[in-house]
Structure 1
Amino acid sequence: MKLISKKQIYWNLMKILSNINFAMFILFLILFFSMIGSIVEQNQNIAYYQINYPSINTKWLILDWKFIIKFGLDHIYSSWWFLVILYVLCCSLIVCTFSVQFPSLSNARRWQFIHIYNKSQIFRRNVFIRKSFTNMIYILNNQGYYTFNKQGFIYAYKGIIGRISPIIVHISLIIVLLGSWIGLMTGFTAQEMVPRGEVVHLKNIISCGSKNMLPNNIVFRVDDFYIDYNTDNSIQQFFSRLSFLKNNGDKISYPAISVNSPLKFHNLTFYQTDWQINALRIRVNQSYTIQCKLNKMQIGKSVFWTCFLPIDKNNKTLLLLSKLNGDIYLYNSKGELVDIISINQKVYINQNCFQVVEMISSTGLQIKVDPGILFVYIGFGLLMVSTILSYISYSQIWFSIQNTSCYLSGSTNRAILFFEEELRKIQKTYLISCDRVYNNNKFLNKR
């Protein structure tokens, strides 16, 4: 009795997993939580959520920072409950593929001879039955059908590949989910803001899979960073030139990377994501060099960097710049424009000589490892192939001759109007061929 109970539980579970309504419900859950993930910013620190989602004493608003942190809405796509939902969807696809789709495909390939006496009678005439069967088989073969003859019946079908598309859809989704799981468990993401000329190794890890082996021998240097501007001074593109250091001290240089043009090195992918100007190196009176940190400020869509020259407490000179290696604007304590200078140009203030010799810039890099990305690409590629195959109609035709009557019927899963036109064409061609045979036999009988 206990064994029977386990079997019942097992088969009931299989029925639930293979049910299309259950699969649609799981897809709805994934879509719903993905929508929440696009609304609530992901992978931010607690202070960010405390500022942007403060706790408010109201019975209607429950989406505060405590609720977000408690239920993992700050990292939805890596939370345990979201992974469980994906796992259930994967199980549902596997069970549905083997319990529904494969049997359906196998059934579609069977010879389905059906008695169709009650179907539409297309003509009634005394003909040679064997010759009529030959004509119908010949006509169906010309139309691309696979035909089978058995005891006075003909069964034909074409477009069986269209019945494979649901299986390919399931397999492609399983491959995509598998690739996502591999990437989540074995991949990692790091972000670095690296000053030009600095040598660094990976240390600012944002996310990391539990089965991942972080590389500890990757050391690279930012050889150069530069920006291309449009004629209106808007940024066209910014570039970073990287080189990697071997254990023996040798350097390997690579072409510059930019936005949408990443660099691949030892399964690592380096993306250009951001940039900033950190400081100005200023030579004072040709004797020593100071470094002034720049403060970033944004007015509308324009970004500026500012700093004060350390002249004296009563006389402050503001330096303002808006582009890398561009002009530098000098303002006095009254906010009046004093001068406009460029890199290495000397300017005299209160009998002191100042010369900006360098703008210290940093490039923002994102370094990712995702071993499952190949599976994701393959899965989506198969999904596109299945979409094309789904437009192929699966059509079936039955034909029989009983006494002096012929019967023709058919079915299709899509493009019904085209199929009806094809049936009329088959009927017309068959009648013409039968009339030709009938007239030839009549002529021979007269002789």
Structure 2
Amino acid sequence: MALVSSVRRYFRHELLPLLADLRLAIGLLLVIALLSATGTVIEQDETVAFYQANYPEHPALFGFLTWRVILNLGLDHVYRTPWFLAILILFGSSLTACSFTRQWPMLKVARRWSYFTRPQSFQRLPFHTHFPQQTLQGIPEQLRQLGYAVFQEGDRLYARKGLIGKIGPILVHVSLLLILLGAIWGSISGFKAQELIPSGSIAPIQHLTGAGDLARAHLPTWQIRVNRFWIDYSPEGRIKQFYSDLSILEQDQEVKRQTISVNHPLSYQGVTLYQADWSIDSARIRVNNSPSFQIPVVPVRTETGNKLWGAFVPTKPDLSEGLTLLLPDLQGTGLLYNTDGQWIGSLRQGMSLALNDQLTLYLDEVIGATGLQIKSDPGIPWVYLGFGLLMVGVVMSYFSHSQIWALQTESGLYLGGKTNRALVTFEREFCWLVEQHLASPLSSGIPTAADWYPKGL
């Protein structure tokens, strides 16, 4: 019991105030911002070869940043590292402690009302005045016209409005906690993958570029079938749009089908498939009267950086002789070259080319492959909800919490008030209230402006 009591005392009097310290929260927020910037500048979830090529050891970037440093510190996947998640959890703990030790007690105090019983209490208020030989008559109705909630007990009165302004900061803290929760949950249970699937083929999700620990053990079991992939070209030959006709298969049964394009993805069970890239997978060829056979193509580097694919087309069954077929795009036109690198002619999809009296080549089909970027982030709904509540909480925080007290005594009526922001607006309301009471036929002993003008102004 003594140990438990000591732990509770340490938590309440030492640890909780430390977590609720505003300086700690600001420091953690700056660290999170710096690490997020680092994750934005340094490419994430790339291969080791990529980092070795772009962050060599000699010369090191900035004198210290090399591929070994990036990989050892986990800067290639900042948002999923244990230390980044630990900082998020610590920041969330700080927000929670601040909410329970400061914001929630302030709201509880604001909800309670108390009456002033002594005239001296009004001297502490920034706005106060005294009406000799006046009563509370008319004050409640005038305050209700200004939107105040009025509480009256005999000759004492308390009014307030803008309590929503006290709820706003708490809602801001809750929204930030939801955003942190969504970020943490997405990091440990989300994944990213890239698949290059030929038209007419079926493939599972298997080439992960980044995944949380929970995601690796629970990858989707359904498969992706590319019914067709095609590209729309402009009359000038430029690419206008990519299209992929996709089907989602579960146990060989189609459960969803949709044609996707750039900026128009497919979503299924929290997984989103984006049209990201394309390639040429193979070509179907016939030589003379032979059956159609499929030959693979490979990317060819060009000095200009344009995409180009090449394939070896055998002209003899023993593969001892052949031609080179170059495909620049999916429009169905191929370029043929002999072994000496001389251009022989062009061959369009669905057509043939007679190479000599004994050899005719047919190009039946150019098969494209769609490049899909696949993402799953279960934390996104929490993040969106958090940002929505954050906007609402910020707006609510701008509401002023205004309070007015009144006390009727033998020497007259005492009136005073205060607000936490928008002093000019509150001053106008207080002046209006004073003017309305001065206009009452019961008024006598009119006070001067110095009696009710706010102190210090």
238, 242, 261: which one aligns with 2:242 = 238
* 1:157–1:396 contact (8 Å) kept in structure 2: yes
Pick 1 or 2: higher relative contact order, CA cutoff 8 A, min separation 6: 2
295, 298, 302: which one aligns with 2:299 = 295
* 1:282–1:292 contact (8 Å) kept in structure 2: no
Could you say if the C-alpha distance between residues 359 and 160 of structure 1 is closer, same or farther in structure 2, counting changes exceeding 3 Å?
A: same
1:394-444 CA distance string (max 9 Å, x none): 222233345445443333233332222222222222222x23x459xxxxx
Alignment partners' CA distance in 2, 1:59 and 1:36: 14
* 1:318–1:333 contact (8 Å) kept in structure 2: no
- The answer to whether 1:163 aligns with 2:166 is yes
Alignment partners' CA distance in 2, 1:136 and 1:163: 25
Look up the SS of the partner of 1:256 in the other structure: strand
- The answer to whether 1:18 aligns with 2:37 is no
Look up the SS of the partner of 1:168 in the other structure: helix
Runs of 5+ in structure 1 lacking a partner?
Answer: 440-447
Matches within 5 A, 1:270-285: 270-285=273-288
Runs of 5+ in structure 2 lacking a partner?
Answer: 445-457
* 2:260–2:266 contact (8 Å) kept in structure 1: yes
Matches within 5 A, 1:414-425: 414-425=421-432
Could you say if the C-alpha distance between residues 58 and 332 of structure 1 is closer, same or farther in structure 2, counting changes exceeding 3 Å?
A: closer
Alignment partners' CA distance in 2, 1:232 and 1:401: 88
* 2:247–2:256 contact (8 Å) kept in structure 1: yes
Equivalent residue, structure 1, for 2:137: 134
Could you say if the C-alpha distance between residues 296 and 424 of structure 1 is closer, same or farther in structure 2, counting changes exceeding 3 Å?
A: farther
Alignment partners' CA distance in 2, 1:413 and 1:327: 74
* 1:320–1:329 contact (8 Å) kept in structure 2: yes
Alignment partners' CA distance in 2, 1:355 and 1:62: 57
Equivalent residue, structure 1, for 2:229: 225
1:292-326 CA distance string (max 9 Å, x none): 514255676854445566679999766342x4225
For residue 3 of structure 1, report the CA deviation from its aligned partner: 7.4
1:211-244 CA distance string (max 9 Å, x none): 3442564233211112234455443332222223
TM-score for the superposition, normalised by structure 2: 0.82
Could you say if the C-alpha distance between residues 361 and 318 of structure 1 is closer, same or farther in structure 2, counting changes exceeding 3 Å?
A: closer
Matches within 5 A, 1:265-414: 265-288=268-291, 289=293, 291=295, 293-297=297-301, 303-306=307-310, 319-321=326-328, 323-328=329-334, 341-351=347-357, 352-414=359-421
For residue 204 of structure 1, report the CA deviation from its aligned partner: 1.9
Could you say if the C-alpha distance between residues 397 and 241 of structure 1 is closer, same or farther in structure 2, counting changes exceeding 3 Å?
A: same
* 2:313–2:325 contact (8 Å) kept in structure 1: yes
* 1:295–1:307 contact (8 Å) kept in structure 2: no
Alignment partners' CA distance in 2, 1:328 and 1:394: 75
Look up the SS of the partner of 1:221 in the other structure: strand
Look up the SS of the partner of 1:425 in the other structure: helix
Equivalent residue, structure 1, for 2:64: 62
Could you say if the C-alpha distance between residues 271 and 29 of structure 1 is closer, same or farther in structure 2, counting changes exceeding 3 Å?
A: same
For residue 198 of structure 1, report the CA deviation from its aligned partner: 0.8
Could you say if the C-alpha distance between residues 423 and 329 of structure 1 is closer, same or farther in structure 2, counting changes exceeding 3 Å?
A: farther
1:78-133 CA distance string (max 9 Å, x none): 11111110110111111111111100111111214452147666564534x2xxx1
Alignment partners' CA distance in 2, 1:206 and 1:330: 37
Equivalent residue, structure 1, for 2:31: 29
Could you say if the C-alpha distance between residues 26 and 237 of structure 1 is closer, same or farther in structure 2, counting changes exceeding 3 Å?
A: same
Name the aligned partner's letter for residue 34 of structure 2.
Answer: F
Alignment partners' CA distance in 2, 1:420 and 1:438: 21
* 1:284–1:290 contact (8 Å) kept in structure 2: no
1:9-41 CA distance string (max 9 Å, x none): 422211111111111111111100111111111
Alignment partners' CA distance in 2, 1:206 and 1:369: 12
Look up the SS of the partner of 2:400 in the other structure: coil
Name the aligned partner's letter for residue 275 of structure 1.
Answer: W
For residue 2 of structure 1, report the CA deviation from its aligned partner: 7.4
- The answer to whether 1:203 aligns with 2:206 is yes
Number of aligned residue pairs: 431
Could you say if the C-alpha distance between residues 393 and 227 of structure 1 is closer, same or farther in structure 2, counting changes exceeding 3 Å?
A: farther
* 1:121–1:407 contact (8 Å) kept in structure 2: yes
Could you say if the C-alpha distance between residues 431 and 56 of structure 1 is closer, same or farther in structure 2, counting changes exceeding 3 Å?
A: same
For residue 385 of structure 1, report the CA deviation from its aligned partner: 1.7
The alignment's C-alpha RMSD in Å is 3.3
Could you say if the C-alpha distance between residues 336 and 429 of structure 1 is closer, same or farther in structure 2, counting changes exceeding 3 Å?
A: farther
